[in-house]
Amino acid sequence: MDEKQLKFNQRNKKRLLGEVASYIDRYPSETDPFQVLKFLQEELNLFGRDSKTGHITCSAWVLNYGRTHAVLVYHRHLNRWIQPGGHVEPVETPRQGALREAVEESGISALRLLDQRIFHISIMNFPEGKDGPSHFHFDLRYLIQAPKGAVLSAPQEVGGAKWVPLNRLEAYSEEETILMMAEKTANWLLENQEAGRRQL
C-alpha cells in the first residue's frame, strides 16, 4: 500500500466507522455489520486485494425509474445472479465505487444515488481464483436509481444483466441478502412516501 492510499484510508476510516455504526443502529439484529465494524477498527489496508484478512468491496442495488424492478447481473466465477458490484479502486470511496460498478456492469449512465447511507451490508467468503486464495469481501451496498427508459447493456465480461421484478427475485436467486434487500426496498419506499406526505 503506497503512501497516497495510506493517507486516503486514514482519512476515510473514521467516516466509514461512523456509517457502519449508524447502519447497526438501524439494523441491530444483523450480524455481518458487527464483523465489518471490527475489520474497520483493526485494519488500515481497507481496500487492498493483497490483504490476507479480506477487504471492503462495494455493490449497487439498482432500481428502475418506477422502482418496481432491480438489476441482477450474472457472475461467471460465482455462477449465479447477483447485484452489480466489485472492488473499490485506489483513492475511491465505496459509494463512488458502487456507482462506477453499476454503470460498468449495467451499461446505464446517469444513475442516481437514492440514499447517502449504506443500504445493506453483507460478508461473502470469495472462492479462490484470479484474485488469489479464498478471502472475505466485506460488502457495502448502496441504493441507486436508473433514469426513465434505461436499457441494460451488459459488457462481455458480465454473463448477462436483467431487470427482475422485486416480487420475483426468488426465481433468480436464493441468496438471503438479495431477498433482504428486496424487503428493505419495500420499507424504504414506504418510509419515503410517508416523508413526502408530511412535507406537503
* pLDDT tens track for 173-186: 888 999 999 999 99
In the chain, the percentage of residues whose pLDDT exceeds 90 is 68
The structure's pTM equals 0.91
User: What's the pLDDT score for residue 131?
Assistant: 60
**Residue 63 to residues 36, 105, 142, 150, 163: CA-CA distances in angstroms?**
25, 14, 11, 10, 9
Q: Which of the 8 DSSP states describes residue 72?
A: E
**170/7: higher pLDDT:** 170
Averaged pLDDT for residues 64-71: 96
Half-sphere exposure of 77 (CA within 13 A, CB side): 10
Q: How far apart are CA 55 and CA 19, in angstroms?
A: 17
User: What's the pLDDT score for residue 7?
Assistant: 84
Averaged pLDDT for residues 83-87: 94
The domains of the chain, with CATH numbers, are: 3-199 (3.90.79.10)
The runs of H, that is alpha helices, within 90-175 are 94-106
Q: How does DSSP assign 42-62, residue by residue?
A: H-S--S-TT-SSEEEEEEEEE
pLDDT in tens, 132-173: 667 899 999 999 999 999 999 988 777 789 999 999 999 988
User: What's the pLDDT score for residue 3?
Assistant: 82
User: What's the pLDDT score for residue 184?
Assistant: 97
Residue 188 pLDDT greater than 90, yes or no: yes
Averaged pLDDT for residues 94-104: 96
